[in-house]
Amino acid sequence: MGQLVRNGLAGVKGGRAWEALVGYSISDLMAHLERQFLPGMSWANIGDWHVDHILPRAMFTYSSEQDPDFRACWALTNLRPLWSEANLEKGAKRVFLL
């Protein structure tokens, strides 16, 4: 699924339409991410930042795209742009701001 999203953001169309699986379009995702861009982030440097799952994918248990956890994992409200280094450091942990 992650690769399908990355391909969509890169403008590459593939087999299954991931938009039908998650219930939003690539345009919706791009607008959602852009609203959260940190200084220096742009579509030109997408390799320097990742689409982060606020609640890590490892916290969700699903066996199919119809599972409610699948939708929760890939919901727009669970996605944000994060610098690649910070995202790799975060890994599968939940990060709380105090």
Model confidence pLDDT, tens digit, residues 53-73 = 999 989 999 999 889 999 999
Domain of residue 35: give its range: 1-90
Number of domains in the chain: 1
Residue 97 lies in a domain: no
- Residue 98: pLDDT band with limits 50, 70, 90: very low
Q: Give the C-alpha separation, 5 to 71, whole Å.
A: 14
Residue 96 lies in a domain: no
Residue 57 lies in a domain: yes
CB 36 within 8 A of CB 80: yes
